[in-house]
């Protein structure tokens, strides 16, 4: 290995102390706190909600049949059928995080496998995989997700699968470009000369160099996934009622936007805050893990 080559262990060493550097950034800390609160609410929701999120309270509606504003009994008010909005938001956090983590995890895994295989093997493998990636990128992600969601019967796991199917292409293109460069390095040629197999080279030498990129995309992608799930649910083709989702809470209550604006603003603020939190953490991780940014902060 030449003196200018990057050691296979270098990416792993560069990732040490990431958490310590992360908590020195106020915006990243804010993002971590918001994410921690959302995770806590999702995990312990059944024990911390004051009411059953599916129960329709007779006293949850006014005499005219309108939703109630926030008060001591219903902290965030009630929805159009008298259900406690706070309890539904807590359960909605579970829906958003499950879809965000599962769908984005599948997208990152698929994109990483496609990108590494296409960049390493070249030839017909590269042609088939990258032309298919280009084909998928030609379709607007939201439009493709709407079509797929309309074809399948919407449910929690179907929505996660649909989002994963439209979100893997960006990371595949990035990983492919980096893998092409890595595959031409001298230490990869040396491994081949020593008889190392393709799987060993990809797992022991290519993948470690890609971990920083994968971690950043995995974090940033959750924000995109949460927003896409909310959009699909708002359009009525995402997670179906009565399962609470921040998007379908807005969809169900949009007719009361002028008379009961909290029914739209509060879940909308929750979506915005969670997406912002993941973006802040992802941006901080990108600055920390990107070798070109070392020493700039």
What are the domain boundaries of the chain? 84-293
DSSP character string of 174-207:
HHHHHHHHHHTSHHHHHHHHTT--HHHHIIIIIH
CATH of domain 84-293: 1.10.3720.10
Q: Which of 144, 162, 133, 149 is nearest to 225 (CA)?
A: 162
- The mean pLDDT value of the chain amounts to 81
Using the predicted structure, report yes or no on whether residue 230 has a pLDDT greater than 70.
Answer: yes
Mapping DSSP to helix (H, G, I), strand (E, B) and coil, where does residue 82 land? Answer: coil
Give me the torsion for CA of 72, 77, 80, 84, rounded to 10°. Answer: -70
Express each pLDDT in 4-58 by its tens digit: 444 444 454 445 577 777 788 888 899 999 999 999 988 888 888 888 888 888 7
Express each pLDDT in 67-104 by its tens digit: 878 888 888 888 888 888 899 999 888 888 888 888 88
Express each pLDDT in 237-256 by its tens digit: 777 777 888 888 888 888 88
Amino acid 95: pLDDT: 85
Average pLDDT over residues 175-201: 81
Using the predicted structure, report yes or no on whether residue 290 has a pLDDT greater than 80.
Answer: no
Mapping DSSP to helix (H, G, I), strand (E, B) and coil, where does residue 76 land? Answer: coil
For residues 185-204, one letter each, b for 16 or more C-beta atoms within 10 angstroms of the residue's C-beta and e for the rest, the string is beebeebeeeeeeeeebbee
Average pLDDT over residues 142-165: 80
Q: How far is CA 41 from the centre of its chain?
A: 17
Would you place residue 108 in the very low, low, confident or very high pLDDT band (cuts 50, 70, 90)?
A: very high
């Amino acid at each position: 290995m030449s003196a200018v080559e990057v050691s296979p262990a270098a990416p792993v060493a560069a990732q040490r102390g990431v958490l310590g550097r992360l908590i020195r950034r106020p915006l990243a800390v804010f993002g971590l706190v918001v994410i921690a609160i959302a995770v806590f609410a999702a995990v312990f929701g059944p024990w911390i909600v004051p009411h059953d999120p599916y129960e329709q309270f007779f006293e949850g509606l006014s005499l005219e049949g309108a939703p109630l504003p926030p008060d001591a009994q219903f902290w965030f008010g009630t929805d159009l059928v008298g259900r406690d909005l706070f309890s539904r938001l807590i359960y909605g956090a579970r829906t958003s995080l499950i879809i965000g983590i599962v769908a984005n995890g599948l997208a990152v895994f698929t994109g990483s496998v496609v990108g590494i295989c296409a960049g390493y093997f070249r030839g017909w493998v590269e042609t088939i995989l990258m032309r298919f990636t280009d084909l998928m990128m030609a379709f607007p992600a939201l439009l493709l997700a709407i079509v797929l969601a309309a074809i399948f019967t919407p449910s929690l796991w179907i929505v996660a699968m649909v989002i994963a199917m439209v979100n893997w292409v960006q990371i595949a293109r990035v990983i492919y470009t980096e893998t092409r460069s890595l595959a031409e390095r001298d230490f990869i040629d040396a491994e081949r000369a020593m008889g190392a197999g393709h799987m060993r080279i990809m797992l022991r030498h290519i993948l470690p160099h890609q971990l920083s990129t994968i971690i950043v995309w995995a974090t940033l992608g959750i924000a995109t996934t949460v927003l896409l799930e909310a959009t699909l649910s708002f359009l009525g083709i995402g997670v179906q009622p009565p399962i609470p989702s921040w998007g379908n809470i807005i969809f169900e209550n949009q007719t009361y936007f002028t008379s009961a604006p909290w029914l739209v603003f509060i879940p909308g603020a929750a979506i915005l805050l969670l997406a912002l939190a993941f973006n802040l953490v992802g941006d901080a991780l990108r600055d920390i893990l990107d070798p070109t940014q070392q020493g700039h902060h």
